[in-house]
Every structure is written in C-alpha cells, then in structure tokens.
C-alpha cells in the first residue's frame, strides 16, 4: 500500500491528469480480466477489452496524427471533408500503461496468469519507478513479488539498487548528455557542417540514445530493487549483436518481447503464406512498433526500416540452411565481427528517421 501511495503521489505531483487515467483504466482492465477468467470460451470479452485499452491510447496519443492524415487526402480527392479536432493532453506514461494492460488481458486469456488482487494490479499499473519509460514488466513476473502483504527488506537489494542507480546516472548524465551537448548543434543546423561531420553526429546519436535509454533503465531497475522488487533487464550490449534479429533481442528487451508475443505471433497465425510470414509480418509489426514510439511518419519509416532488415535476415537465414558451405563459412570469427559492424551501420542509419 505504501508503494501505491508513493506512486500516486509521484503521479499527482508530476502529472495530475495521469492519476485519473491510471485509476480508470486499471479498474476497467481488472474487471475485464475477471470476466475473461470467468468466461474463457468467450473470446469477444478479451477482444473488446484489448480494443478498449488501445482505443484509449489512440484517443490520447494518435488522434491528432490520424486527423492530419485524413485531412491530407484533400490533396488527392477534391472536396474531401476536413476535420478540426483540438489536441488532447497526453497523459504521462500512457503508452507503457496500455501495453502492460494488453499483455495482462492477453496472458489471462492464454492461461499464463490469474487476475489476483486489485491493489496488486493497481501497483503494477502505477509503479513510479517504471511508469514513464519502462521496462514493460509482465504481471506474470510482478504478481508473485507483491502478492505478499510485506516485501522483506534486504541489504543486498539496497546495495545492488544503489549501484544500478549510480551506473544509470553516469550513462545518462555523463555520457549521453555530453554527447548531446556536442552533436545537438549539428542536428539543429546541419547545413553549416560537412557531410563527414553530419555522419559523425549520426554515429554520436546512436551512442547517445543507447546510453540515455540504457541509463534510464538502470535507474528504473535500481530504484525498484530498493523496494525489493526485481524488474527485468532491458538492454544486453545490443550494438555487439551480429544481426538485426539479435539486436532486437538485446535492445529494449521488454518491448521486443512484447512485439514478439502480442504482434508477431498473432499476425503469423493469420496466414501460412511464406510471403506473409517472411515479408509482411515483420514489416507490419515493426511499423507499429515505430508508431508506438511517436505519432509521426518518421517513426513509422524507422519501424519499416527495421522490418525490412528482419525480412533480409530471414531470407539470409533460409539461404544458409539450404547451403552447408555457406553456413560453415558464417561460423568463422571474421564473419562474426563483420556482422557486428554491418549491423551497427544498419541500425545507425535507421536512427536518422528516429531523430
């Protein structure tokens, strides 16, 4: 209960409107979860629950983007009706809340987790240490830690948590922010700099966004451990990945797992066509992943870029399986190092759309 009060106290001080959104959405999702558990054969309950949660996300985060896209059709269709909707205030952490609730409802549907107590779910929805930018923890891992009335205090957790917070602050405040200090002027006025300087700025941003986000994840994991709660790791040296598939298993791991479980697998079940599975599923899933990061076409293009990278990797993997000589050659150290360099270049080029 103390953690719940602390979480809502934090939300009220930082963004009071988020309190109303979190409580309302938590009540709805919890009741929907009870109904899904009680009537497991009625898939419509799960479908309506997920659509409602995503509808709230679309309403707050994407309504302006969708209206702008619809209004742009006037350039192609003469006399197409125009819409003018005032921009809604974006509640803090709405993207992460929505994804956590979708996973909660779906895991109940799949029989992976039981609803549990309402206050446990409310804490799962509002825990201030991971509220703003994740990691996107699963209720399946979170529930056993908080369903006890008291979380035992351990000095080991305190020491580990403090260490992770310090490392995270170093990554964020020392490395990421200082990289930004040097490269941000180049992004703001690129025409004043040569092509090579702009390329260095892109590489610099690749490291800046990693240390920024990885540093925040360290602080979130460490802060949670101070209260005895273990949160999943979110980064595992992603720039040392030899291919784009491994990159997404190491970068923002909680989001990658979410995309795999709740987008890739359901989309893959829609058709057994090889073209659908190899081409369309990765591109659609990653385009939606890009859109989740922000309501702009540049984020969608960034997602498509990574989707096409996954398509190329799947084709390459299929080719290796059919060619034993090629498969043997790819196991050499030089091929591994070449893959790391090529993959880093590919990911870095993609950050241009993201930035």
With residue 303 as reference, give the H or E element that holds it.
helix 297-322
**C-alpha to C-alpha distance for 30 and 54, rounded to whole angstroms:** 15
Supply φ then ψ for residue 93, to 5 degrees. Answer: 70, 15
Minimal CA–CA distance to 62: which of 34, 35, 90, 42? 90
Cα-based distances in Å from 72 to 49, 60, 68, 81, 280: 31, 20, 6, 10, 26
Q: Are 229 and 148 in contact (CB under 8 A)?
A: no
The 10 Å CB-count burial string (b at 16+, else e) for 85-101 is eeeeeebbbbbbbbbbb
**Other CB atoms within 10 A of residue 341 CB:** 10
Q: Which of 214, 224, 227 is nearest to 254 (CA)?
A: 214
- The residues annotated with a catalytic role in the active site are 293
| Residue 330 φ/ψ, nearest 5 degrees | -75, -10
- 107, 139 contact by CB (below 8 A): yes
Rg over alpha carbons for the chain, rounded to the nearest Å, is 22
Q: Which structure tokens are listed for 345?
A: 């270049």
């Amino acid at each position: 209960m103390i953690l719940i009060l602390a979480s809502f106290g934090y939300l009220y001080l930082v963004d009071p409107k988020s309190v109303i959104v979190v409580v309302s959405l938590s009540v709805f999702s919890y009741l929907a979860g009870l109904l899904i558990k009680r009537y497991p054969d009625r898939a419509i309950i799960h479908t309506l629950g997920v659509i409602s949660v995503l509808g709230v996300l679309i309403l707050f985060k994407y309504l302006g983007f969708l209206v702008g896209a619809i209004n742009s059709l006037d350039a192609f269709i003469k006399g197409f009706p125009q819409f003018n909707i005032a921009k809604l205030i974006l509640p803090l952490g709405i993207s992460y809340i929505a994804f956590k609730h979708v996973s909660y409802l779906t895991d109940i549907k799949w029989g992976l987790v039981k609803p549990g107590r309402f206050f446990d779910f409310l804490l799962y929805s509002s825990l201030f240490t991971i509220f703003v930018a994740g990691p996107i923890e699963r209720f399946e891992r979170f529930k056993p830690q908080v369903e006890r009335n008291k979380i035992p205090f351990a000095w080991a957790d305190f020491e580990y948590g403090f260490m992770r917070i310090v490392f995270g602050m170093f990554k964020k405040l020392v490395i990421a922010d200082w990289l930004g200090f040097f490269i941000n002027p180049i992004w703001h006025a690129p025409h004043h700099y040569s092509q090579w300087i702009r390329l260095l700025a892109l590489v610099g941003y690749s490291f800046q966004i990693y240390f920024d986000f990885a540093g925040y994840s360290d602080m979130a994991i460490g802060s949670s451990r101070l209260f005895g709660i273990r949160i999943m790791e979110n980064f595992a040296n992603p720039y040392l990945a030899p291919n784009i598939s491994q990159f997404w298993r190491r970068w923002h791991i909680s989001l990658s797992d979410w995309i795999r479980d709740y987008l890739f697998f359901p989309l893959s079940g829609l058709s057994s066509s090889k073209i659908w599975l190899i081409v369309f599923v990765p591109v659609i899933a990653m385009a939606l992943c890009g859109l989740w990061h922000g309501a702009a076409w540049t984020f969608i293009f960034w997602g498509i870029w990574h989707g096409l990278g996954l398509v190329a990797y799947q084709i390459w993997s299929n080719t290796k399986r059919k060619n034993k000589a090629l498969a043997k050659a790819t196991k050499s150290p030089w091929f591994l190092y070449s893959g790391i360099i090529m993959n880093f270049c590919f990911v870095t080029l993609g950050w241009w759309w993201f930035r």
